Amino acid sequence: MSMTLRRLSRAATAGLVAAAALTAAAHSAEAADTLGSAAAGQGRYFGTAVAASHLGEADYTATLDREFSSVTPENEMKWDATEPSRATFTFTSADRIVDHAQSKGMDVRGHTLVWHSQLPSWVGSLGASDLSTAMKDHINGLMGHYKGEIHSWDVVNEAFQDGGSGARRSSPFQDKLGDGFIEEAFRTARAADPAAKLCYNDYNTDGVNAKSNAVYNMVKDFKSRGVPIDCVGFQSHFNSNSPVPSDYRQNLQRFADLGVDVQITELDIEGSGSAQAADYTKVVEACLAVDRCTGMTVWGVTDKYSWRSSGTPLLFDGNYQEKPAYGAVLAALGGSGDPGDPGDPGDPGDGTASCTATYTRTADWDSGYNGQVTITAGDEPISAWTVTVTLPAQQSVSSLWNGTPTWSGNVMTVKPSWNGTLAAGASTGFGFTAAKNGSDAAPTVGTCTAS
């Protein structure tokens, strides 16, 4: 089957699955007593790294499906897994994760396109111009296969050296192509899937230090020259040698102030008990304090499968029991473990009906796309919601499900069809199919109002 056909068939299937997932989510109407639903109440996603090999384990999948609203394939989208020999792409394991996530209405983060590690040896043996071609082919191969299905891509991972120099790390890309490989990767990625957020991702950049300063300067330069970059990922692997920095929030904020989103992409904190719980609280509070911190991902579901399993760094123990850190994260997100601070928008019972609306493109093809708007009730139950969606002028909507639209020019005002009643923190949503008519721009979703 040709690449084009395979791409189209993934996109078309995704549209159908997304519509089914919306209905499933709407019927479950759960309260904000899971990480994903509590984070949604704060307008954020809460994700985890997932390994395809564990999806057959019932407890693993039950915990994943119950708690998380986003997944990152832990290894399955890396270069060695997807293009082990040149131009031969294998997507079986990554597809398993993406299909599972879509069937549960979860977002997918793509990890990662260009990285010096888990890189097959054939890449390192290429000469400069061939390497540049191979890098672009790899980006186009991955992003083409998943076009319209990935929320954010880690386009380049770990390109800077540790330590004080702020220099780029030696890698086949850096050594043969120079600093410019990073912007070349981002420009290629933007063209390959214009709907995906494009992130630079790294570690030991969580606080203000020489390495994060170097990344900061690169992002600032990209923004000033129009190199496409949308987000910066902070891996956030913490332990006693590398604790949660005291200036974490300040560091996230200075990046956000450059005009990019920030995401916590691979969070794990070695330790146990209340000390570990307190560290997790600091991280969640830092993200919530930064408007452009759009979500958090922990690097695994259970301690027993963590890449640092001896450090027990995750939220569920080896038997999938909630650790103190789990309760702390849920509470910090304003979930039902929280005793409640008056005025905290995530806490139960301040008496005002409210909702939030978030938009994702769930499928994409040459002439059109599917969009999904997820509506989440605030800290009170609601009986109705209203959301406006403004489409780019050329676009037109051919169908809409799980909502009732009225039109004024290119603005559609959507109210519930059958799905107006939501418990506090519960989510529903509507989906639609739009014709691009020459414009690939995203619609703008206005404020959600509830009664």
Residues identified as active-site: 158, 266
Alpha helices for 151-226 (secondary structure H): 172-177, 180-192, 210-225
| Rounded least distance, CB 157 to ligand XIL, Å | 5
Task: Give the nearer residue to ligand XIL in terms of CB position, either 255 or 369.
Answer: 255
Residue 55's Cβ-count burial label (10 Å; 0-12, 13-18, 19+) is middle
Beta carbons of 135 and 186 less than 8 angstroms apart: no
In the complex with ligand XIL, the residue whose CB is nearer, 171 or 354, is 171
Q: Which is nearer to ligand XIL, 74 or 380 (CB)?
A: 74
Amino acid at 375: I
Query: What letter represents residue 347's amino acid?
Result: D
**Least distance CB 56 / ligand XIL (angstroms):** 18
Whole-number Å distance between alpha carbons of 304 and 315: 11
Question: Taking the complex as a whole, how short is the minimal distance between the CB of residue 354 and ligand XIL, in angstroms?
Answer: 36
| CB neighbourhood size of 274 (10 A) | 11
Interaction site with ligand XIL (CB under 6 A): 74-75, 157, 235, 266, 307
In whole angstroms, the minimum distance from the beta carbon of 96 to ligand XIL comes to 16
The tokens for 379 are: 């800290």
User: Does residue 88 have a cis bond before it (omega within 30 degrees)?
Assistant: no
Neighbours of 241 (CB within 10 A): 6
Residues 6 or more apart from 67 whose CB is under 8 A from it? 34, 35, 36, 46, 48
Q: Which is nearer to ligand XIL, 80 or 344 (CB)?
A: 80
Angle formed by the axes of helices 273-288 and 248-256, nearest 10°? 20
Q: Where are the alpha helices (DSSP H) in 1-127?
A: 3-28, 35-41, 58-67, 79-82, 92-103, 121-124
Residue nearest to ligand XIL (CB): 307
Instruction: Name which of 234 and 430 has its Cβ closer to ligand XIL.
Output: 234
Secondary structure of residue 43 in the 3-state scheme: coil
Distance from the Cα of residue 127 to its chain's centroid: 34
What is d(CA 434, CA 368) in angstroms, rounded to the nearest whole number?
A: 5
Q: How far is the CB of 308 from ligand XIL (least distance, A)?
A: 8
Give CA torsion, residues 22, 9, 439, 195, to 10 deg. Answer: 60
Q: Nearest-CA neighbor of 246 among 286, 191, 303?
A: 286
**Of the two residues 45 and 234, which places its CB atom closer to ligand XIL in the complex?**
234
Q: How far is the CB of 236 from ligand XIL (least distance, A)?
A: 10
> Nearest distance from residue 261's CB to ligand XIL, in Å?
18
Q: Which is nearer to ligand XIL, 307 or 320 (CB)?
A: 307
